Amino acid sequence: MTRWRGRLLAGLLIVTGIVLPFGFGSASGFMNATIIAVAYAVMALGLNIVVGFAGLLDLGYVAFYALGAYSLGWLGSGFFFKAHIHVLVSAVADTLPGVHLNFILILIGAAIICAAAGALIGLPTLRLRGDYIAIVTLAFGEIIGVVAVNGQSVHVGGGMTLTAGNLGISAVDAPYFPGIGSFGLLDLRPWYWLIFAILLVVLFVNLRLRDSRLGRAWVALREDEVAAVSMGIPLVKTKLLAYSIGAAFGGMSGAFFGTYYTEVNAGQFQFGFSIFILAMVIIGGLGSIWGAVVGGLALGYINNYLIPDVLNGLPARLGLNFQLTEVEFGIFGFLLVIMMVLRPQGLIPERRRRLELTPPDAP
Amino acid sequence: MSPIQTPAPPAVTVLRAEHVTKAFGGLVAVNDISFDVPQHSIVSLIGPNGAGKTTLFNMLTGLYRPTGGRILLGERDITRARPDVITQHGVARTFQNIRLFGAMTAVENVMVGHHARMRAGLFGSIFRPPWVRREERDTREHARELLAYVGLREPVFDRLASHLPYGDQRRVEIARALAAKPRLLLLDEPTAGMNPQESGVLTEFMRVMRDDLKLTILLIEHDMKVVMGVSERVTVLDYGKKIAEGEPAVVRADPAVIEAYLGRQE
């Protein structure tokens, strides 16, 4: 019974997700906010594996947003202008210099690059616990940001540099699919379906991993590291897998943002973004998959629709001399505090935590 | 037929510690200890608080690296092996202060104990081919059987470990250790906090487990009634040194042991 209900619910959600854009203007602000919110949800799902499942507090998740976006910049634009590599791209991109791969290939490339980087960042944290992990990952997030800014002075040969710093890698390719054509910015619906498809894939992987040998190993490590290794769980491998998979999802979302924003600029990758994603995971419910989705969507809509489009003029109407966008971080902080007071387990708590918070004798 | 009695085969040694030493800075917690654990036996490790028993356990299971000496599991040198590798080679343990995964159910705890025996990796977990489904199902069933085996009843199987009463948590911990299918089971004060009747039941159960599962058991214990009742050999530690070893009755009469526990009479 519950199984069929679950499938019905999942089917309903997918259909709703697919037909959703028909209710709104194809280039409306709401459509734009929805696309960004769904991409945030993908990132929240990635971070949830690291922080929620494995219990490794990562304050440098922005690093994978950056690496994913740069993967797109490197593999899908004229940035490396000496190279001429074209795989399954539009007729226009086919004639341009640079590396131009199909978006799906870039997505896979970004996932692989970020998974490798995730393992690399994970390595020095293996011997650390709790707060110390947070400090090391925080430092890595900052390092990537600085490398992104100064990458324009790092020469990789032939007059080409590693990044374009604050100038940004612009003129990146829009996604192109044979038979569909290139995505344009006048019709946002294809973008939405693309990121929605990515969300479904990431969601599927999350759900499968949660109820698996690997998922149990992560939770065991989170609960008691000593007992977990004594039960035969290899510490290094299991932790690095958590970092790598979380990073890969962040990278996929980052690659999408790269092409959606049509540029990859070092200024995008600030520390605050790591905290923003972490807030999504916490507000949704640490360790909860559906919580991460809801948290990502909620903060995405609040940040990109509610505050700038709907409520922005509110203070002015009340006779106050500021705009709501100027205090958005204050609003998020306030929301976090309210959440922690009223519902510390998050909007949709993880099953285990829900059990933990119910008294054992309750029916 | 032969009138000449064939001598009993020499007992196979499951675990051998050779001159094992552990120093924490200037403090020598375990000092040059050697002892054997024969196959299919129940051996007790006793000694006053702070004698180095748990430190020794932690070295046997790979949580600490010995400062000196060797530890052999059968023929294999496991002195510097990682804890998860040692578990894979057939050693499982429980902890003095119960260390269950509190946010997991009893069944899930035992399923974690199966980890080293399962094969599903990253892609197996994601794509879940038939053999992974079968492995999951078999593991879950086996976990429930183990919980029943250690004397728990169906209703508690799916309760969170942290919500179970103390005695049940001890049982889940034993089931979790058994899930790794060990040859050697290390129990760190399994009867701590139990009343005499409960520890009597557990003592009996240790023998049953040993015979059913062809186990060798090494336990740390403070309850002398349990020690004398269950063990075939006793090793006594005091201040990190081995001060006596042998059959329970002999050890009990040893003046050095009496002195360690009761102090010297002037």
Helix (H/G/I), strand (E/B), else coil: A189: helix
Residue B136 near chain A (CB below 8 Å) = yes
Q: Does residue B169 contact residue B161 with C-beta atoms inside 8 Å?
A: yes
Answer yes or no: is B210 within a domain: yes
Report which of A190, A195, A197, A194 is spatially closest to residue A14, judged by C-alpha positions: A197
Q: A338-353 pLDDT, tens per residue?
A: 988 998 888 988 877 6
* B230 in the same domain as B200: yes
Residue ranges per domain, chain A? 25-270
Model pLDDT, residue A353: 65
Taking residues B111-140, report their average pLDDT. 95
* B123 in the same domain as B60: no
- Cβ neighbours of B61 in A, within 8 Å: 230
Q: Of A214, A226, A228, which is closest to B125 when you measure between CB atoms?
A: A214
Rounded to whole angstroms, how far apart are CA atoms B64 and B58? Answer: 6
Q: A146-184 pLDDT, tens per residue?
A: 999 999 988 888 888 899 888 899 889 999 998 888 898
Range of the domain at B215: 13-90+182-262
Q: Does residue B102 contact residue B48 with C-beta atoms inside 8 Å?
A: no
Residues 6+ apart with CB under 8 A from B237: B30, B33, B45, B46, B47, B51, B52, B53, B56, B243
Strand ranges (E), chain B: 13-24, 27-38, 42-46, 68-73, 76-77, 91-93, 184-188, 216-220, 233-238, 241-246
Report which of A267, A268, A280, A270 is spatially closest to residue A336, judged by C-alpha positions: A280
The answer to whether the Cβ–Cβ distance between A217 and B115 falls below 8 Å is: yes
Classify residue A171 as left (phi > 0), alpha (psi -120 to 50) or beta. left
CB atoms within 10 A of CB A211: 13
- Cβ neighbours of B117 in A, within 8 Å: 232
* B156 in the same domain as B33: no
Structural domains of chain B, count = 2
Mutate: best of B54, B57, B126, B174, partner A, most A CBs <10 A: B126
Answer yes or no: is B159 within a domain: yes
Q: Does residue B20 contact residue B56 with C-beta atoms inside 8 Å?
A: yes
The answer to whether the Cβ–Cβ distance between A231 and B100 falls below 8 Å is: no
A217 has pLDDT over 70? yes
* B64 in the same domain as B27: yes
* B57 in the same domain as B111: no
Q: B231-265 pLDDT, tens per residue?
A: 999 999 999 999 999 999 999 889 988 888 877 76
Q: Which CATH number does the domain housing residue B33 bear?
A: 3.40.50.300
Work out how many CB contacts closer than 8 A connect A with B: 111
Most confident of A269-283, A304-318, A337-351: A269-283
Answer yes or no: is B4 within a domain: no
Cα nearest neighbour of B59 on chain A = A230
Answer yes or no: is B175 within a domain: no
Answer yes or no: is B176 within a domain: no
Q: Which of B137, B169, B201 is the last residue of a domain?
A: B169
Model pLDDT, residue B150: 95
ipTM above 0.90, yes or no: yes
* B111 in the same domain as B146: yes
CB atoms within 10 A of CB A226: 14
Model pLDDT, residue A363: 38
* B113 in the same domain as B76: no
Taking residues B138-148, report their average pLDDT. 97
CA A246 to mean position of chain CA atoms? 9
Instruction: Tell me the nearest-neighbour CA distance from A157 into chain B, angstroms.
Output: 38
pLDDT bin (cut points 50, 70, 90) of residue B140 is very high
Q: A106-132 pLDDT, tens per residue?
A: 999 999 999 999 999 888 887 787 789
B181 has pLDDT over 90? yes
Cα nearest neighbour of A241 on chain B = B122
Residues 64-103 on B with a CB inside 8 Å of A are: 82-84, 87-88, 92-93, 95, 99-103
* B247 in the same domain as B211: yes
Residue A257 class from Cβ within 10 Å (0-12 exposed, 13-18 middle, 19+ buried)? buried
Answer yes or no: is B79 within a domain: yes
A1 has pLDDT over 60? no
Cα nearest neighbour of A350 on chain B = B103
Residues 6+ apart with CB under 8 A from B10: none
The answer to whether the Cβ–Cβ distance between A352 and B104 falls below 8 Å is: yes
Of A62-66, A159-163, B30-34, which range is least confident? Answer: A159-163
* B151 in the same domain as B112: yes
